[in-house]
Amino acid sequence: MTLTPTAVDLPDLELRAGGQFGLYIHVPFCFTRCGYCDFNTYTPAELGGTNPDSWVAAVTVELELAAARLGAPTVSTVFLGGGTPSLLGETRLVRVMDAVRANFTLAPDAEITTESNPESTSPEFFEVIRAAGFTRVSLGMQSVSPKVLAVLERIHSPGRPVAAAREARAAGFEHLNIDLIYGTPGETDDDLARSVDAALEAGVDHVSAYGLIVEPGTALARRVRKGELPAPDPDVLAHRYELVDAALRAAGMDWYEVSNWSRPGGQCRHNLGYWGGGQWWGAGPGAHGYIGDLRLWNIKHPNAYSELLGKRLLPVTGFEKLSDADRHTEDVMLRLRMRDGLPLSLLDAGERERAEVAVADGLVFSDGARLVLTDHGRLLADAVVRSVLG
């Protein structure tokens, strides 16, 4: 039995004054699914109805409907993520941005980012999207070690991300990010060092590095459960984080969020919007947004998503209203992970007392106005947040 997808009746959507507004656009397509990934993605064999062209048509309608509900606010950042946005090809990515411009006003200095799999890019790809106004590219490298890529089930060749970054730079992109994953079973310190060196050799101005997490329901989780692979070791993850941090700092990059480093001016403004309490509309299957005091999320399956938009219905199938306590928890959790730190003025008396304990333990330091994680504290960021909140 096939159930007809339904959308929820949303309350009035009112943007909070001040701060930046962004668009996140979720592209659900992947050529294959990596073993560690639990994102809302689908391979061609899993989709009987939706294809890249029908997805572009559907997301165009969603952008039109969203702009009408929000009053067409000025957009500071656009981020196409996934999934593998570069699988759409340059022509469809340009069509998506045409739809953004047709329905919203882009700020003159808008940051426009697309994630890309190095294997689905080319010099022409980068030249076309740069000419269409994209300002930033994020490339998935993860590692240059063939054995690590095999465990992660990544399909790109070890040298392709560096070549892709150089092609993007030649096309005029000033802002380039490379993603790394550390702590994969079988990875050595040398594997990680060579991966960091390759990212720096590629000439990027931003690196994101994440410790491997074994997400429930993934192929990697099944292999770990069966004993085919060991689970990531927390002590190894901490050691590898320190290796990444030392190498990037030595090359002139500094951390601005626990898992992100950049050269001056290379920070991802879209992500800063997430971490700093900004607002955004999430378009595409399964995308989440944050408007006013509401968290909203779209229906996950691309076919159901397209069906709702074919009826000119916003594909939002759930929302929650954040209380003052919810927003406070998020502020502490996100701002304490950032280099700029957490304003002490946001904390109540009990939280300040617990923060003093964290200072005494060497996990954070205070300049009298803000709390900032120490190098050791970054290794325990989540625990520090929990201790301060109580």
Residue ranges of the alpha helices (H) in the chain?
52-70, 89-103, 123-131, 146-152, 160-170, 189-201, 219-225, 234-250, 269-275, 302-310, 324-335, 349-360, 375-379, 381-389
* pLDDT for residue 3: 52
Range from 57-66, 157-166, 169-178, 193-202 carrying the lowest mean pLDDT: 157-166
Neighbours of 45 (CB within 10 A): 7
Among left, alpha and beta (phi > 0; psi -120 to 50; other), residue 368 is: left
The model's pTM? 0.95
Which of 50, 101, 54 has its CA nearest to residue 75? 101
Question: pLDDT band for position 4 (50/70/90)?
Answer: low
Three-class SS of residue 87? helix
Q: Residue 2 pLDDT more than 60?
A: no
* pLDDT for residue 1: 33
Q: How far apart are CA 329 and CA 366, in angstroms?
A: 20
Report pLDDT digits (tens) over 176-193: 999 999 999 999 999 999
Report pLDDT digits (tens) over 325-365: 999 999 999 999 999 999 999 999 999 999 999 999 999 99
